[in-house]
Amino acid sequence: MKKFLQIIVLFSLFSGMNSCKTSHDERGRNERSLNKNWLFAKDLPEGDYSGFNVDDSLFAMVNLPHTTNIEPLVVNHQWQGTCWYRHLLEIPQKQQNRKHFLYFEGAMQNSDVYLNGKHLSHHLGGYLPFIVDITDEIDFSKENLLAVKLLNVDDSLVPPGKVLKKLDFNMYGGIYRSVKLITTSKLYITNPLQPQKKRGGGVYVRFDSISVKFCQIKVSTYIQNDFNTDQTFRVRQSLLDSANEIVASNTSEALHFNSQSDIKTDQEFGMNDPILWSPDNPYLYLLVTEIYQGDEKIDSLSNQVGIRDIQLTKEGLLLNGKKIFLNGTNRHQEYPYIGYALSDQAQWRDAIKIKNAGFDLVRLSHYPQSETFMDACDALGIVVMNCIPGWQYNGNEEFKENALSNVRDLIRRDRNRASVFFWELSLNESWMEPAFMDRILQVKKEEFEDQPALTCSWIDYGGYDLFIPARQHGIPPSYWNDFKSGKRPILIAEYGDWEYYAQNAGFNQTAYHDLKDEERTSRQLRASGEKRLLQQALNFQEAANSNRKGSSTIGHANWLMFDYNRGYADDIESSGIADIFRIPKFATYFYQSQRNADEQVSNPAVGGPMVYIASYWQPESSLNVRVFSNCDEVELLLNEQSVGRQTPDQDAFSDYLEHPPFTFKLKEFVPGELQAIGFIDGKKVASYVVRTPETVDHLKLILDESGIPVAENDVIFIYASLRDENGTLCPVNGESIAFSVEGDGELIGTNPMFTEAGIATILLKTGRNSGNILVKTQSETIKNDSIVIEIGKEYPIIKR
């Protein structure tokens, strides 16, 4: 134990001052990150590791987010079992008369929490947060020992419930999201997950009578009095704009309530000229809720909110009175090697990549995802379909009760978010009895009170607002285009993968006659070559075009954004439009071209006019050169000589697209430079160049920041690409590239790593200190490269 104390004290000297995420005075609310300086061990001999009398040599020092096991790139046998985390927690004596809570954002899968050896909490499920009141167990005279035991094994009682070896994704262990200590007065705003009652907890915000001229704001605040005396207080609500100016406010009358009791306050007030939230203008306000006794602020809580009006009508989906069609994707939250343990910065980078790819909708398949990722969706204008855990399994009554708890907790966690349009409150691709679906919908009704909330299910059941089948659930070739079911519209929740993998789609593609089965599928690694990557892009194009023919269809989400691992298969599921390292395939640029050139996109995402040549322009490349663009016309030049200037393609799998591709038919291959120039209204607005690669000359290292700088305790991809002497990418497979690091960082993954289409990737995990990290390549046959990475302080990413 002495060794543990020395390590913690050492790191506390360097990191303690930066541990407070938000801080008020000693009478107000304080939130302190507990992500640093944990001890971790797995597969220990059976026993109790919650107390002080433990052999620390069995444990390793780690930071959160943390995964229990560094997995191989292809995960055939994901680690399962029991692990322990231990952390020293010191709380000053002067905070003895206050409330103290631990907030766990995500720990996989079943958790037991101990303080100083005493068991305080047992929580089931790994995808949603939970809160533990530790007030009565703290020893304020010394450091306290926090211990967490995690059990991550097959559990048929806990959604998703299916055994891992039959599951279409993995469930990686660990405290893989953040943990924080929340300290408040004994008169305080509760956490949404805290009270075990309907509609209980936190601050609940609704907007009504929404227009560009006015909206009505309704706020319910749930307050607890844990003093032994009655208390009188006022509640103040302040809505701040992006310049932190108060644009609307309301203060309640003096309220009185008894000791050891709770109360709900309701306030309504109006606001003139609201700026409405939408994918192209995701404007966010900050609602600050404060409790006052006299002139003294006792507690304060802030919620990021957006004002928008969503309606499903016979005409389709109306957002702020305007009809929209949602172009979207699905996301699994895993990274290679580290599973679910992404940094906050990595979560934002994923969201930026989704927005950059042209998507305004993401379905969080098939479980709740990180709060930081949700923050990014709010800020970037990505509509969210929020999902409870579930996939092809429905269990007994205890399982159902746990699923209902997931519904309640998910709603409470995310009910104030601007980005959440749809609530997938159903077990994905699992048969559910009507009585069970009615129970789910009753929980939704209880939690949302008077607020409209759009529910959806893969089962066409009347209680849900939206029907969300996968395309493969329909009958080809029309699939769901003829669907009509009363007033309920449809959103295609998955498409572009299974129907081609099962070889039951694509009857319009005459090119299929000379393709092998494995060449037709959308499951293509980046190493699969141009022909297969073009076919994957064509599959997605054909399916997207087909989906838009349905008169009842309000949107669709392709399967999927990023490649991923799954329990039931021994290979990477490669139907992503980007690979598991987040490197785009050709299909990414097809989707990017479907965003209008004049559509506004919030920083750090990028939009505007674009053009992309889907070819490496090598001797084996197709002479039918496909160009993706959102321009009116495209001109293609070969070695500065015009091949032609064309309008978009007109064919059976382009006729419903916003921006069909441009196909240029060349007579022969001539090495050199292809340039595509995009025109809108006759003006040149975009260009793209691809050159025939020559012999590999050198390596080039690229850091995948995606607009989010590298920070302490971050994870980020580094790409080593093969280049010829002109700097052109050489799309060679199988070249072995080794990486090395100097400084406070760790390289994670296969090392040396083989190239796929000219790129080898390593994952860098930064350490506890800011400063510089040097990463180098080490090849004996190719000129090497190095990159200096400046590591900033760990910081909360700005949300507004």
Q: pTM of this prediction?
A: 0.94
pLDDT of res. 513: 58
Q: How far is CA 445 from CA 176, 305, 408, 438, in A?
A: 31, 21, 10, 10
Residue 751 near residue 739 (C-beta atoms within 8 A): yes
Average confidence (pLDDT) over 705-734: 97
At 393, give phi and psi (nearest 5°).
-160, 135
Q: What is the pLDDT of residues 672-691, one digit of tens each?
A: 999 999 999 999 999 999 99
Note the pLDDT of residue 395: 96
3-state secondary structure of 693: coil
| pLDDT surpassing 50 at residue 13 | no
Name the pLDDT band for 21 (thresholds 50, 70, 90): very low
Residue 3 has pLDDT above 50, yes or no: no
Phi/psi of residue 362, nearest 5 degrees: -130, 130
Contact 552, 483 (CB under 8 A): yes
- In sequence order, the β-bridge partners of residue 681 are none
Tally Cβ neighbours within 10 Å of residue 446.
14
- What does the DSSP assignment read for 505-530? --TT-GGGGG--HHHHSS---GGG-H
162-173 per-position pLDDT tens digit: 999 999 999 999
Q: Which two tokens stand for residue 605?
A: 């995402």
Instruction: For residue 757, list its beta bridge partners.
Output: none
Q: Rounded to 5 degrees, what angle do the CA atoms 173, 176, 179 make? A: 130
Whether the Cβ atoms of residue 722 and residue 728 lie closer than 8 Å to each other: no
The helix (H) or strand (E) run that includes residue 401 is helix 397-414
Confidence at residue 519, expressed as pLDDT on a 0 to 100 scale: 86
Q: Is residue 705 pLDDT above 80, yes or no?
A: yes
What is the per-residue pLDDT for 516? 76
The answer to which of 18-22, 54-58, 325-329, 452-456 has the lowest mean pLDDT is 18-22
Cα 135 to Cα 115: distance, rounded to the nearest angstrom: 10
Instruction: Give the start-end residues of each E strand in 667-785.
Output: 673-680, 683-691, 698-703, 715-723, 736-742, 745-748, 753-754, 759-766, 771-778
pLDDT beyond 90 at 275: yes
* pLDDT at 191 > cutoff 70: yes
The whole-angstrom separation of Cα 148 and Cα 85 is 5
DSSP per-residue letters across 320-350: TTEEE-EEEEE----BTTTBT---HHHHHHH
Strand partners, 729: 723
Is residue 746 within 8 A of residue 764, CB to CB? The reply is yes
Tell me the mean pLDDT in the region 142-166. Answer: 97
Tokens at 289, concatenated: 């809720």
Residue 545, H or E segment: helix 530-547
482-535 pLDDT, tens digit per residue, is 887 766 899 999 999 999 988 766 444 455 556 778 889 999 999 999 999 999
Euclidean distance between CA atoms 305 and 286, whole angstroms: 6
Domains 2-183 and 611-691 share a fold: no
Contact 466, 313 (CB under 8 A): no
DSSP 223-251: EEE-SSS-EEEEEEEEEE-TTS-EEEEEE
Amino acid sitting at position 484: K
With helix as H, strand as E and coil as C, how does 348-377 read?
Answer: HHHHHHHHHCCCCEEECCCCCCCHHHHHHH
Q: Which residue has the higher pLDDT, 520 or 83?
A: 83
CATH number for the domain whose boundaries are 611-691: 2.60.40.10
Mean pLDDT, the chain, whole residue set: 93
Q: Classify domain 2-183 by CATH number.
A: 2.60.120.260
354 has pLDDT over 70: yes
What is the share, in percent, of the chain residues with pLDDT greater than 70? 94
pLDDT at residue 674 in the model:
99
The pLDDT value recorded for residue 512 is 57
pLDDT-above-90 percentage for the chain: 87
Q: Determine the straight-line distance between the first and last CA of the chain, rounded to whole angstroms.
A: 44
Q: Which CATH number does the domain 698-791 belong to among 3.10.310.70, 3.20.20.70, 2.60.40.10, 2.102.10.10? A: 2.60.40.10
Residue 784's pLDDT band, with cuts at 50, 70 and 90, is very high
- pLDDT for position 176: 99
pLDDT given at position 734:
96
Going by the DSSP 8-state scheme, the letter that residue 587 receives in this structure is: H
Ordered by start, the domain boundaries in the chain are 2-183, 611-691, 698-791
- Provide the pLDDT for residue 2: 39
